Every structure is written in structure tokens, then in C-alpha cells.
Structure 1
Amino acid sequence: MTDPRPVIAAIRDGRGLDGPGAALIAQGLADGSVSDAQAGAFAMAVLTRGTGQAGRVALTRAMRDSGHVLQWDLPGPVVDKHSTGGIGDTVSLVLAPLLAAQGCFVPMISGRGLGHTGGTLDKLEAIPGYLCDQPEEDFRRIVRKIGCAIVAATGDVAPADRRLYAIRDESGTVESIDLITASILSKKLAAGLDALVLDVKAGSGAILKKSDSAGRLAQALVETANGAGCRTTAFITDMDQPLARSAGNALEVHEAIRCLQGEPGALRDLTLALAAECLTLAGQSAEGLAATLESGAAAEAFGRMVAAQGGPRDLLVRPDAHLARAPLIVPVPAPQGRVGRIDVTALGHAVLALGGGRVRADRVGLDRMAMLGDSVGAGAPLAMVHAADDTAAQVAIAAVQAAYTLGEGEVGPLIRDRITA
């Protein structure tokens, strides 16, 4: 069968998607034999009628197999994690070297900022010389030697997804759970993983703000990844406040380094929880994980990874010498009280307006952001704005002030739920 129209019609009529149909669509997306009109019709049929669970697995596998799939022969498990994105979320920069220090191998293929959320690659490229684009031979060498590497996807990783991603945006089908699931997992599973842990955010700063919506996506991701042969669980985690107190590329790298060097906080707590889940899925002991972080072994692995990917060898001992600093740093004043609610998405947009995130002005952003329940006023600002000039600073100050509400509020658990197959 080479004509995609019967496949599209079957989905449209509620008959689902089978393996051969998924393979036909994925290969046609990759090689161009499926037209834009057919791709749009396919996406709309999936949005309105769904693929069914078996169809979602088939589509994920077919999109994964539309390009190059890595295979490894390493003396330890190959693991990774994926986050749906949030503010202050620099878990990847801590988790990858931490798992490497525990004897795992982490070939992390990451992305750039999406909407108001920051991208791992944008943050790492705030480090002078750091090269996210690595030839496969170098990527393999770094993973084998150091235990982790964080890179951008090459053009031959899940090419069907790259085309369908653009079609979804143009056809108004972005929110399809089936297509979101296949998009996320086709790229992650192309890395040849033994185990994967997913961090699905819920709250005011998440793409999916309600816990039930996040739960549906998490369930779909876990069932599909396990159906495709990769041991996977998911956490639903809180994004009603930033995960860490910094937002902005260079500022978040600073905070990740402080976490690697022992600074406590939610970033550390969530990283340890996700890393422990990775180890458990891979059949490894998570005992001593916190001690590995505190010993400096994870920090050492991070420093070696940065150097191997072109960054400075002394980043951890001289971060201020390498990470850009904004020319203007000013506080965001607040009346006296306690933080009761935070519009975390608004904080993300404030960083983007400063020129942070994917816009790639690495030195700008926010730090010392107040968290829920914190006392502010009387010399305690809502945040510190790092800006290129006074005009940008004043705009950001107003945006941050509007994002915070003082009063009574609840601080929810960092991890709201755990989803298993």
C-alpha cells in the first residue's frame, strides 16, 4: 500500500491506525511522498477521532524508525529523562552528570525553548564555546568516555516528526495527545534508551495547567513508551511556582552549578527523585545517590562534559569569568506581605521580553525570585531583574509585579503523582 488516503479515511471513520498504516504515513512524511494536504488531513483525523492505544504505539515506532536509531554497546544502562518544560527547570544539567557518576550512560538529545519555557540547548549555549551540534561519532565518544552528553538532534533523527510538527502548527492540531506523545517519544526513543523517566508539569507555568490534563498526557506517554519497548514512568510535578529561583540562560547555568556544588532547594530535590526513578527503571540501586551529588562526583562529570563539548575547562571554579553578566541589575520592589500566588507563565514571558530564552540574550533574566509563602517587602524584593538597559528593566519590573499576588496561598507538593504502566 502506497496511497495514504485509505489510512487517513480509516482514522477519520474511527477504525484506528495499524502498523503498516503508521509506517506508510511516517515514511511519507520523511521522504515527501505524503503531501502537505494529506499530512494536515491525517493530523486532523487523529485530533478528532484518535488512533487508539495500539495505533499510538505504532505511530511512535514508525516515526522513530523514519530516521536513524542509535544502538549502544556500553558497560551500563542507557537512560534519559524528558520534561514538558517549565520556568527555572535546569534539571537536565544536573541529572545527566549525576547519573553518569552513578555508572549510567545518558545520551541526551534536547531541544530549544518552546513558548514561555526555556530550552536546555539555549541554556548550555550560554557557556562560551559549548557546541550542541555534535557529529554522531563525537557524540558517541563523549557518552562512552564521560557517561553523558547533551546535544541537539541531527537531521536524520525522527525526520517524520520534524515535518509533522510544522504541519500540526499550521493545521490547528497541536493539542492532540496522540500526536504530542508520538512527537516526544519518537525523538527520545531514537537515542536507543533502556529506560526513560518523564517529568510532566502541571500548574500556572506549565503548558498543561490542570493536573487532570497533565495526567492524561503522562498516562499516554508511559503506556506508549512501554508499548514501544522502553521502560518508562512519569511524575506529575508542580509548576505553580518556578522550580528554581533563576530564569534566563546564563543565570540558570549558574544555579545548576550551585546545585551540583551542594545548594539545597526544589531543583536538587526533583533531580534526585527523577534520577532515582531512572536508576530503578534500569535495574540499578539508587542508594547513595544524594551522597554522589554531595561528593562532587556529579559536578566533576558536568565539568568534563562541558569541556568535551567545547566549553571552558574551569567553568565550575570560575563561572563568573565565563558566564555573561547583564550591565544592569535592579530589584523588583514589593509591598510587605507573603507571596500567595504566582503567574509563572507571566514570569516566563517577562524573561522573553528581556531577551532571554530562545531569543538568546544569555545575560538577561530574573534571579532571586520569591517563592510561594516567602515574605517580601521591607528590603526583600520579588526578584532581581538582569537587563540590557533601564527601559527593558522597567518593563520587566512591571511584568514581575503583575505576576505576583500577595496574601494567603497553599504550597502544593513538588511531586503530585507518579504514573506507571
Structure 2
Amino acid sequence: MKDTDESIELSKRMIQTGELCGKTTTAFITRMDHPIGNAVGNWLEVLECINVMKSGKGPKDLVNLCLVQAAQMLIQCGAVPSGTLKEGIIMARENLSNGKAYGKFREMVVSQGGDLRCIDKPEDYPRAQFKADVIATSKGFISDINALEIGHIGVMIGAGRNCSEDAIDATAGIWFHRKVGDRVEASDAIATVYTEREETLNSAADSVFQAFSFSEVPVEPEPLITNFVTKDGVSNFSMSIFED
């Protein structure tokens, strides 16, 4: 959804449906102005999540979003003694850091008949045949990465589809080496494009560069989560919960 009010209205309808089915249902409204995490594309996004679960670390926006959502799920299943999001986040972070999150993910893969080799040794998984770095042409700060344009580029390189009949290339995608707010120097690689479609590689890399905006002065990213929605109403959400 492009509009916050429309997003909230959609979340209210989804919550109403869940509650009518007897399930406690809540929603977070998050910004999608920029890609979350460093990866766009099917396998690249899975690889990023595997790395986060293995190391307990990763891009701040991705990790914090996952911690908030995990904390809320813990609250809703009655696993947080105080019932506070703060304690839920502490519990979620601990299970990410001690490897339990990755262990549970492995159990889920096995239960669905998946091959553990793909997550235990992801470096053995096939990669896209062609890649191109996107290079900064001057120094400054990244002020924007247009997520909508990145989505269109994803379709161009095979990571997305225009219609249900289109095939998806799981190896295609974009890896961002820099994010909004980061400082860059001329000649820095700010992203890398991966695809099996050699004919689209250079134009895709050029388009990725055009999706970036730059500033001469430092830029502070907007808070990722803006609202929390329940059956009782809508409240503002503050990312300051991570500051203590």
C-alpha cells in the first residue's frame, strides 16, 4: 500500500477477519520506501536471513523488524511474563544470539521435507551466472533508494514477474552494499546486480543507480515501524524501544 491511511484500513480488516476466526490478530505498519535489509531477490533474501540466524547479526532495519514481530508473537502466545514488548524483544534477541532461532528454522526445513544442505552450506547453492557492480560517481550520503523502482528492476532481471505465468529465477536479485544514511565515496560499490539474463545486466545496473538519491549532508533514515494496530485501535510506534 502506498498510503498510510489505506494501510491502516487494510490492517483493520485483516485483524477483524482474524478475530472473527478466534485468533488474536495484530499488525505493524512499516515503511516500504526503501528495501529492508541488504537483499532483494528470492535466494539472496533467504541467504541474508540464514546469515542473520547463524550469526545473530545483520542489517539494523531487518533485525529490529524481526525482533519486534517475534516479540509480539511471543506476547500473543503468552510466553512473555510481563506481557511487554520490551521483554519480548529481549527474549527474541537472546534466542537469535544463542542459535536457537537457527536451530528452530532447521527443524522447520526438515518437517517440510527440505534439504538442510541448502542452509547449512549455502555457498554450494548455484549463483546467477552474470553480475555487475553499481558504482557511486561522487562522495556524499545516500538519501533514498526507491523501492518501487527496485521492484521493477527485479522483474527485468527475472527476480519478479509481471503475470502469474512468468517464470521466477531464484538466483536473480540485487545486493545493497550501502543503505539510506550511509556515507559513500566516489568509486564505492553501492550495489551488485545478479541475473541469468545477460542482455539486461547493464541496463539493470544503470537503473539501480538511478534509483539511488544522494545528499551532500548527513541523512537520518525515517523510523521503520510507524504504527501498531489491534482490534481496539491504532497507536503510534516508537523505535526508541531499541535505545536502552
Q: Does the alignment reach a TM-score above 0.5?
A: yes
Q: How far apart are 1:223 and its partner, in Å?
A: 3.3
Partner SS state of residue 306, structure 1: helix
1-structure distance, mates of 2:169, 2:17 = 37
Percent identical among aligned pairs is 31
1:284 matched to 2:73: no
Q: What is the aligned residue count?
A: 213
For structure 1, list consecutive stretches of 5 or more residues without a partner in the other structure.
1-207
Match of 1:154 in 2: none
Residue identity in the other structure for 1:284: A
CA–CA separation in structure 2 for the residues paired with 1:312 and 1:225? 33
CA distance in 1, matches of 2:75, 2:107: 26
Question: What is the CA RMSD across the aligned residues, in angstroms?
Answer: 1.9
- How far 1:293 sits from its partner (Å)? 1.2
Partner Cα distance (1:225, 1:369) in 2: 38
Structure 1 residues 247-272: Cα deviation after superposition (integer angstroms, max 9, x where no partner): 11111111010111112322221111
- Who is 2:131 aligned against? 329
Moved over 6 A (4+): none
List per-residue Cα deviations over 1:122-150 (Å, max 9, x = no partner).
xxxxxxxxxxxxxxxxxxxxxxxxxxxxx
Find 2:27's aligned residue among 231, 234, 245.
234
CA distance in 2, matches of 1:405, 1:283: 44
Q: 1:272 aligns with which of 52, 64, 67?
A: 67
Please say if residues 250 and 324 of structure 1, whose CA atoms lie closer than 8 Å, have aligned partners that are also in contact. no
- Kept after mapping to 2: 8 A contact 1:234/1:419: yes
Question: Following TM superposition, by how much is the alpha carbon of 1:379 offset from its aligned partner in structure 2, in angstroms?
Answer: 3.2
SS of the equivalent of 1:320 reads helix
Amino acid corresponding to residue 415 of structure 1 in structure 2: I
Deviations for 1:71-127, whole angstroms, at most 9, x for unmatched residues? xxxxxxxxxxxxxxxxxxxxxxxxxxxxxxxxxxxxxxxxxxxxxxxxxxxxxxxxx
Letter in 2 for 1:327: Q
Equivalent position amino acid for 1:350 in 2: I
Distance (whole Å) between structure 2 residues aligned to residue 365 and residue 380 of structure 1: 19
- Residue 225 of structure 1 corresponds to which residue in structure 2? 18
Q: 2:158·2:197 contact (CA, 8 Å) conserved in 1?
A: no
Shift in CA distance, 312/218, structure 1 to aligned 2, threshold 3 Å: same
Asked if the contact 1:303/1:314 (under 8 Å) is kept, the reply is no
2:220 corresponds to 1:420? no
Alpha-carbon distance, 1:309 to partner:
2.6
Q: Which amino acid aligns with 1:349?
A: H
Higher RCO (CA-CA < 8 Å; seq separation 6+): 2
Partner of 2:164: none
Quick one: distance in 2 between partners of 1:224 and 1:361? 34
- Name the structure 2 match of 1:259: 52
Gapped regions of structure 2 (runs ≥ 5): 81-87, 162-166, 232-244
CA–CA distance in 2 between the matches of 1:379 and 1:389? 25
Structure 2 partner of 1:362: 170
State the one-letter code of the partner of 2:210. A
Whether contact under 8 Å (1:251, 1:365) holds in the other structure is yes
**For residues 135-214 of structure 1, what are the structure 2 equivalents within 5 Å?**
208-214=1-7
Q: List aligned pairs for 1:374-389, cutoff 5 A.
A: 374-389=182-197
Question: What residue is the counterpart of 1:104 in the other structure?
Answer: none
Find the aligned partners of 1:313 and 1:218 in 2 and give their Cα distance: 35
Amino acid across the alignment from 1:382: I
Distance 1:228 1:313 in 2: 35
2:110 aligned with 1:316: no
Q: Is the 8 A contact 2:136 2:190 kept in 1?
A: yes
Query: TM-score, normalising length from structure 2?
Result: 0.80
Alignment-derived partner of residue 400 in structure 1: 208
**Larger strand fraction of residues:** 2
Residues 257/394 of structure 1: CA separation in 2 closer, same or farther (3 Å cut): same
Which entry has the higher C-alpha Rg, 1 or 2?
Answer: 1
- Name 1:372's counterpart in structure 2: 180
Deviates more, 1:248-257 or 1:398-407: 398-407
**Aligned partners of 1:339 and 1:374 also within 8 Å:** yes
**Match in the other structure for 2:9:** 216
